[in-house]
Each structure stands twice: as C-alpha cells, then as structure tokens.
Amino acid sequence: MNPERERPVTERLFDTAADLFWHKGYAATTTREIASAVGIQQASLYHHMASKEDLVYKICLSSLERFLAEVPAAVNAALSPLDRIHALIRAHLATLLSHQRRYVTVLTELRSLTPPHLKEVVALRDQYDRFVRSIIENAQSAGLIRGDIASKYLSIALMSVLNYTALWFRKEQALGEDQLAAIFTTIFFKGAAARRSAPSLRWSEPAEDSGKPTPRSRKKSSVTRNCESPALARALDAAIALFSRKGYTATSTREVAALIGMQKASLYYHIDSKEDLLYLVCRATLEQIRHDVETAIQGVDEPLDRLRALIVSHVESLVRDAQPHSITFTEMHALSKDRLAQVMALRDEHEGLVRKTVQEGQRTGVLRDDIDAKYLCLTLLGMINRVTRWYRPSGPLTPHQVGQLLAVIFLTGAAV
C-alpha cells in the first residue's frame, strides 16, 4: 500500500502544487500538470479547487491558519517574556519547515491572488504579525529587550530571518530545526559581534513630530542606467513594470512594445526573445548590487566597520532597485538552463563576498566564532534581503537608516 495514496487528496494537491510552483513558478504551472503529478484526472481536480488561483489561495490560507493555531499555543505555554520569544522562534521555525514549500508559495505568489482572496490572506498575515509584535513589546515593557528600537523593526528583523529559512533549508544538511532555532535565538538576543570587541553602535529613531521630510534617494534604477541603446533602456523599464505587475510568463513582447509606443517587430531589433529582457534584468541587478557593495567597503579596513558598510550599501542597493530585485528573485527560474546558471553564479559571487566579510570578522575576533560563518551569513542575508518586501519610501526611515538599523540589530542583538 502506498502511504502517499492514503493521504487526503487536498493535502496531496497542496504539496504537489507548492512543489511545482517552487520549481517552475505559478504562471508556468498548469492544472493539468498538478493533476497528473497527484495521479488524478484534471477534471477531478476541480472537485477540490475552483481554479489554480483558488489552489494558491487555499495553500496560503491553510498555511497562515496553521501559524495562528500552533505558534500562539506554544508561546502561551511559556512563562517569562524571554521564554515566550524563545518559544516563538522554535514554534515558528518548526511550523514553517513542516510544510516548507507551501510556505514558499505564501512568500512568493501572493500577487497571483484575486483582490478578495488577497485581502483575506493579508488580513491573516497581519494578524500573525501583530501577535509577534505583541510578544516583543511585552519583553520591552519588562525591560528585557532594548527600547531604543521600535518593536516593529525588531519583529520584522526576526521574522525576516525565520522566513528566509524556507528558501534555503535542506533536510539533508547537518543542522536540524532545533539547532537552527538555537542559532537564531542567540543572534537575535545577543548579536553577531563578539562581546570582547565592544562595538560602538548606537541607534536613535527620527522624531515622529519633527515635521521635516526624511530625505529619499531619487536615483534611477541601475538596470537601465548604463544601457547603450535608449530604446533598449525603455524596453527594459517597460518589462520591469509589466513583469512586476503580471509576472514574466503572463507578459508578452507585444505588451512591452505597446507600453513604450513601439511596434513589436521594432522591439526585435534590440532583443531576440522575451527571455533576453528577463536575463538582462537579472544580470544587471546582481552585477549592480555587487558593484555597490564592493565600492562601499573598499578602503574600509576595520572589520566591524567593513561589515556595517556592507549591510548599509546592500540595503540601499536593494531598495533603489526593488522591482528588478523582486523580479530576479521570483522569475529567474523561467530562464534557460545556461542563463539561469549564469545568473545563479552572479548571485553566489555576491553571497560569497558577504560570507568572506563575515569570515574576516571572525578571524580578527570582532565577530563571534561559536556560530559557523555559514549560519551567520544566512542569518544576515535573511535579515537584509527581505527589505524589499516591507520597506515603503513613505515611511519614517531612509534606506541608509534602515541599513544602519539592521546592522545594529544583527551585530548587537535585541537584549539589553
């Protein structure tokens, strides 16, 4: 007897669809493929789901409902404010990794939802976020968590690290979820900086009643700034706008050409295919963030200052090119095998620079060495790579201030 066949069809649909979305993306996955992988007829799938969008909606809804049921139950069993944060980290990570690829769907495919479904899912997500923030605030009120950083940002930093785990965790790796929870707890409370290095890091938020507008970067997206052809630059700008709104698969070259007032045939003077546009966006975005970070840390000799400069420049580059980075993250799987390999190599090169900087900090004794550089690096990347998901230019902080803030949280932790 096949145990998989004994599972409810809905559960099998959820896991199979999430796995296909992981590998191919939502737009490129068909209901026929999902039904075939589950071992049912396509018509039978519609006895359980009204549509592919309805399937995504139910995956998101059930995932968030699970968090709202399981994590508060674990947290409420803890007695002290700090124990409640410990329990939150463990329970969130365990819940996330129990259905890892379903939760990746929650992280990456919300834009495919219809407005009513999106509103309902976002409401549940916001409810969970408020719960997490309340746990942080209780610890702040007890004087156990630093009060110079708003609970909003401490909560965002922690959830960014935990949720990023869904994107890189592999069950066959050396560390399990309990060990990872211990690492994340240590870094969140105590920070990555070695205590003996005594980093002089301070943070103060801008006054809410200052009445002065916070300066914002007005730089144009780096993806098109260096294009030799103005027509190609306009085509890339149009592609970025359309890919962000509709997704790569659902966007046609005809739509790209129409958005810039060009005939479709004329667009092919500049590109050979729609894939060229996606490839150029991904490549330029990753090359630019690497350039920005290398420029920022060049000549910075003190390892702690070097890491702080890396964090700030990384965040500034992400925010400036937020749409291209989101496209690179969600759509790179649509590239051909060779081009995907090139893009992933660029991504790995940049992450290698981050890890090298972390390792240098450990070697010189300014970063803690009781946690492997791999996990310090993954914690940091989780904290800063999720910025494009939550940062709003209309908010109180500039990208530079956000970078400084996350540097403080990562290096010195949340505990007083």
Cβ partners under 8 Å of residue 97, min gap 6: 165, 166, 169, 177
**CB burial class (10 A; 0-12, 13-18, 19+) of residue 218?**
exposed
Burial 342-365 (b: 16+ CB within 10 A, else e): ebeebbeebeebbbebbbebbeee
pLDDT at site 202:
57
- Report which of 231, 326, 236 is spatially closest to residue 276, judged by C-alpha positions: 236
Flag the least confident range among 151-155, 233-237, 375-379: 233-237
Contact between 232 and 270 (Cβ < 8 Å)? yes
Mean pLDDT of 242-259: 90
pLDDT at site 214:
44
CATH topology of domain 54-190: Tetracycline Repressor; domain 2 (1.10.357)
- Whether 174 shows a pLDDT value over 80: the answer reads no
- Whether 21 shows a pLDDT value over 50: the answer reads yes
- Report which of 266, 283, 284 is spatially closest to residue 335, judged by C-alpha positions: 283
Helix axis angle for 373-385 and 151-168, nearest 10°, is: 120
pLDDT > 90: what percent of the chain?
73
Q: Which residues pair with 397 in a beta bridge?
A: none
pLDDT at site 295:
96
Contact between 259 and 241 (Cβ < 8 Å)? yes
334: which DSSP letter? G
- Report which of 93, 99, 281, 261 is spatially closest to residue 188, judged by C-alpha positions: 93
Question: Cα–Cα distance between 116 and 114 in angstroms, integer?
Answer: 6
- Band the pLDDT of 392: cuts 50, 70, 90: very high
For the chain, which residues make up each domain, given as ranges?
54-190, 196-201+280-412
pLDDT at site 79:
92
E strands of 234-338, at which residues? none
Would you say the CATH fold of 196-201+280-412 matches that of 54-190? yes
- Statement: 196-201+280-412 belongs to CATH 1.10.3720.10: no
Q: Which of 20-24, 105-109, 346-350 is predicted most confidently?
A: 346-350
- Whether 196 shows a pLDDT value over 80: the answer reads no
- Band the pLDDT of 217: cuts 50, 70, 90: very low
- Report which of 324, 294, 307 is spatially closest to residue 221, judged by C-alpha positions: 324
Q: What average pLDDT does the chain have? A: 90
Mean pLDDT of 83-105: 96
Structure-model confidence comparison of residues 26 and 364, the more confident one: 364
144-160 pLDDT, tens digit per residue, is 999 999 999 999 999 99
- Whether 212 shows a pLDDT value over 50: the answer reads no
Mean pLDDT of 359-387: 95
Q: Which of 13-27, 87-101, 238-252 is predicted most confidently?
A: 87-101
Mean pLDDT of 352-364: 96
pLDDT at site 23:
83
| Alpha carbon 248 to chain centroid, angstroms | 19
